[in-house]
Structure 1
Amino acid sequence: MIVEIIPCLQDNYSYLIIDENNNACVIDPSEAKPVIDLVERKKINLKYILNTHHHYDHIGGNEELKKKYNSIVVGYKDDAERIPGINVLVENNQVWKNDNFEAKIIHIPGHTTGHISFHFFNEKLIFTGDTLFSLGCGKIFEGTYQEMFESLNKIKSLPADTKIYCGHEYTLQNSKFCIKHDPENTNLQNKILEIAKKHEKAQPTIPSTLKDEIECNIFLRAKNVESFSKLRDLKDNF
């Protein structure tokens, strides 16, 4: 499998997962045009649209892509009314499998009530939408601190070499918050140097690895929901 990173809107990422037969899934198409440009250039068969949650900057391209390529839209069962064009309703812990694509659905509420991730366990990839960012986590809009803390712990329990593909390029700003509250963390200091080099070259800081996030992401290092909640509040006003 190949993962292509597609910058969208201001700071969003959509992703194409392409198999050896040139069939593909797109994760969270914020807008259609950048996806279409890549699909046409590489002559890819866009078979599936996978949505982590219902926010417009993750589903904005659904209907145009579905109409153009007759793609199948996959999303969480409880968000059926909020995800445009949805065909396949999935639920927590289900393994969604079609063609060469196989992913476990992990329900990770907090940012929204219906947020899910797609864990391609054979390839050790997870698409975390707006729940886990590199060196950060999503704002809590519809859920609770407890839900978000538990959702992050679900991801944290995966193999350490799992690659993290998140919904936004927020890593540099997130690093400033992490280092302020964890200044002696040498792993984080080294990570920030890597981020700076990538920014100089205009390269994505994604994917990260779960190992890196456990070592460097202050939200994954929170020991309990109380300390997590305090950090989340501080980040909201950072």
Structure 2
Amino acid sequence: MSEQAKLREDICLLAKSMFDRGLTCGASGNISARLSDGSVLVTPTGVPMGFLDPARISHLDEKFRLLSGDRPTKETPLHSAFYETRTGTGAVVHLHSTHSVALSMLPETDPDHAIPPLTAYAVMRVGKVKLLPFFVPGDPAMGDAVRGLAGKRSAVLLANHGPVVAGKDIWAATFAMEELEETAKLALLTRGQNPIGLTNDQIGAVVRKFDVDW
């Protein structure tokens, strides 16, 4: 199986897994992944993530121009911003996952630290998450907002919309996305109960051991 064929299958496999577990619903959410030649596979617009056809996934060149397949997601500028600003990005996952969106709407959520460091894996796989303001879906300004972070964050949370995570490959990006959503769920479940999160020393130990951007 060629690199491109395998990546198409992996995109569909992971997208269906997230869809089936309710991490995104309807035709929401999108995934992109970069091939070794610099071109990018992107999920098409308007297609539920649980029903993707590998053969119809959009194939874009390195400048994000359509080469083949269906029309790509309207959130493509959001994806391209991560590839442009974070060296080593091999995939980007964007969902409308319930707990993360809920956290984005609460006035007490820290915009510079939207997902609290409750567990070691939240620090290891997600790092600090920046809360970005609301944008109309598909607005290229979302990409500009990500570029404004200058590659310092691998994950952002779009207010009233959902999380976006970049990773070294599609598996890493998906695992990080799932960790982000689970941590958002923990944050909501423990809100008002004075949960004991990680201390600064504990966060530092994780950051140093796993070379996390923090």
**TM exceeds 0.5?**
no
Q: TM class, shorter-chain normalised?
A: 0.3 to 0.5
Relative contact order: is structure 1 or structure 2 higher (C-alpha 8 Å, sep ≥ 6)? 2
Greater strand content: 1
Normalising to structure 2: TM-score of the pair?
0.33
